[in-house]
Amino acid sequence: MLRIRVTLPKQNLVHYRHLDLLHDALINAWTAAGATIKQVYGASALPWNFAALGKTGHIDKIVHTLIVSTPAPTLAKYLRDFKPQDIHYARASTIEVVDFAEAKITLEDDPICPQQNALGVLLLSPLAIRDNTVAGSKRWHKHLGQFDLSAAIFFFFLQVHPDSLYVRWNPDHAVLVPMKLMPNGKPAFVIGMSAPLVLAGRDEDLRFAWYAGLGEKTRNGFGCIGLAEEGVGR
């Protein structure tokens, strides 16, 4: 298990419009570090997770920090060998370039103590949970209080509780994330949710959630968590 923070200097930020550009830049870094494409991409890939910290501009999004993590020992050894200059991707069709060559990479400590049974977290990237109540639909849940979150995140032995006060005062906590530009020129979106959560369970399950992320599409930049007490940070 390993988690890193990729931080750009304040004067050198990265602009992007679609999240898949950052995903593809990280795929480039994974393979440059020695991972095979099957280990990090596709339905049979090993688990890994990332979040882009920054803000939304008038036209695009701005990122100053990437959080990248994996619970898989095989990928952890490759993640340790990440080089900032390898987190790079250029796409001619959308005239976009992301380049983290000037970034600094630091290892993040494991925050889970032995026999710890609860953790207060923030979602550093939106939580994506597919709404399966309508057969054949591709809808995403938009409100954390309208379904059983613990049951939806069934592959962890965790109880997941949204912060009740936050959800009450922020009922509109859905986040529309532009994923990629389709061949017809239209963008593809995923709807995620963002709110503080309390995770309850065994320390090993809390740890797995910390490194793997929560929910669906974690390898595409969803469900990354951070400590509530530390906030999002720079």
Report d(CA 199, CA 205) in Å as an integer: 9
State phi, psi for 106 to the nearest 5 degrees. -130, 150
Give the β-pairing of 197-201 and 118-123. Answer: antiparallel
Residue 187 in this model has a pLDDT that exceeds 70 = yes
Extended beta strands in the chain, E state: 2-7, 14-16, 49-56, 61-70, 88-91, 96-99, 104-107, 118-123, 158-162, 174-181, 187-193, 197-201, 225-227
Calculate the average pLDDT of the chain: 88
Percentage above 90 pLDDT, the chain: 51
State phi, psi for 214 to the nearest 5 degrees. -115, 150
Report d(CA 186, CA 130) in Å as an integer: 21
Q: Which domains does the chain have, with CATH numbers?
A: 2-107 (3.30.70.1890), 118-227 (3.30.70)
Q: What is the pLDDT of residue 50?
A: 96
Report d(CA 39, CA 49) in Å as an integer: 13
Take residue 4 and report the two structure tokens written for it: 């890193």
Report d(CA 222, CA 219) in Å as an integer: 7
Q: How many CB atoms lie within 10 A of CB 5?
A: 18
Mean pLDDT lowest for which of 4-8, 67-71, 230-234?
230-234
**Side-chain-facing half-sphere of 221: CA atoms under 13 Å:** 24
Q: What is the pLDDT of residue 154?
A: 63
| Distances, alpha carbon 125 to alpha carbons 87, 171, 212, in Å | 19, 18, 13
Q: pLDDT tens across 125-155, in order?
A: 999 988 877 666 678 888 888 788 887 776 6
Q: What is the pTM of this model?
A: 0.89
Is residue 147 within 8 A of residue 158, CB to CB? The reply is no
What mean pLDDT is predicted for residues 96-102? 91
∠ Cα 61 232 119 (to 5°): 135
Residue 32 in this model has a pLDDT that exceeds 90 = yes
Q: What is the pLDDT of residue 56?
A: 78
Q: What is the pLDDT of residue 175?
A: 86
Q: pLDDT tens across 151-183, in order?
A: 777 666 788 889 888 888 888 888 888 888 777
Take residue 202 and report the two structure tokens written for it: 């065994």
Q: How many CB atoms lie within 10 A of CB 231?
A: 9
Residue 58 in this model has a pLDDT that exceeds 90 = no
